[in-house]
Amino acid sequence: MADRTLEAQGLAEAPREHPLLYPGAWPEDSCLLDGNRLLPLDRLVYDDRVPVLAVGSNGCPGQLRHKMAEFGITAPIPMVKARVTGIDVGVSAHVSRMGYVSASPFDAPAVVRELFLIWLDAEQLAVIDATEGVPLPNGNYQRAWLAAPEVRIDLADGTALPGAFAYVNRHGVLHNGDGGPRTHPGQRALLTELLGTSARLRELFGVTPEQFVARARADALLCERGTRLLAEEKLVTVSGLEKYVRDQQTGRPGTGSSLLPPSM
């Protein structure tokens, strides 16, 4: 019988502990994260749970386990591979206190990506919200409902979901040099590029990805300075998903700021 532990499958390491591995390793297919094991799923849709698109480390079982353990949560989490049309994975315009520059979605109508959808109960969603800074007035992310047809989410059994939540960065995303959002190339490549092109970033964080990580993890105020510097260096643009956050904060019909999505 196959060893279903995260360690055996190479999925145990959490980017929170190993920042240069961000976004961490993702499973090959849909599965149930149950403690230290990945188990088969008996279904792909969970009407009693909330669907959240993972564009960064929330698709890494090791990271999810780490986040839940911090709050003493042990309930299983269904992780469902989905074909997502309408967003791509960009670079958050902030330096995380975890030592990395994380991912954030951006509007990309013609792009199709395979991403994981994690189905969370209310307690688990509150944990992920907390780790993304949602409850804080100046937190890094806001949770927004991305609705079809603008964002299409298709599951392997043919189900097309009416939407899902995603975490939209309050600071925006980094651009590609032509004004549009850039995609996230992985942590080591990203930090190497950013440090190589900005003398001011090197002054703050050193000249190598290892130095960047060590300094960022040791100094929350330095991370805030780094976040401001990204904007000052004119590296930042909008994600195009801010409209979903605004719609829900102003109470448009079919939207809301509660834990639950619009009626499915």
Tens digits of pLDDT across the chain (264 residues): 578 999 999 999 999 999 999 999 999 999 999 999 999 999 999 999 999 999 999 999 999 999 999 999 999 999 999 999 999 999 999 999 999 999 999 999 999 999 999 999 999 999 999 999 999 998 999 999 999 999 999 999 999 999 999 999 999 999 999 989 999 999 999 999 999 999 999 999 999 999 999 999 989 999 999 999 999 999 999 999 999 997 665 443 333 334 444 433
For 124, the enclosing helix (H) or strand (E) is: helix 122-132
- Alpha helices by DSSP H, listed for 150-241, are 187-197, 199-205, 209-218, 220-232
Alpha-carbon span 121 to 138, nearest angstrom: 25
Alpha-carbon span 150 to 247, nearest angstrom: 14
The b-or-e profile of 89-98 (16+ CB within 10 A means b, else e) is bbbbbbbbbb
What pTM was computed for the model? 0.91
Backbone angles phi, psi at 195, to 5 degrees: -70, -35
Judge residue 32's burial from the number of C-beta atoms within 10 Å of its C-beta, 0-12 exposed, 13-18 middle, 19 or more buried.
middle
Backbone angles phi, psi at 164, to 5 degrees: -160, 160
**CATH superfamily of this structure's domain 19-184+237-249:** Gamma-glutamyl cyclotransferase-like (3.10.490.10)
CB proximity list for 100: less than 8 A, separation 6 or greater? 15, 19, 20, 22, 187, 191, 213, 216
Residues for the chain: how many in total?
264
Rg, the chain, Cα only: 18
Amino acid letter for position 221: L
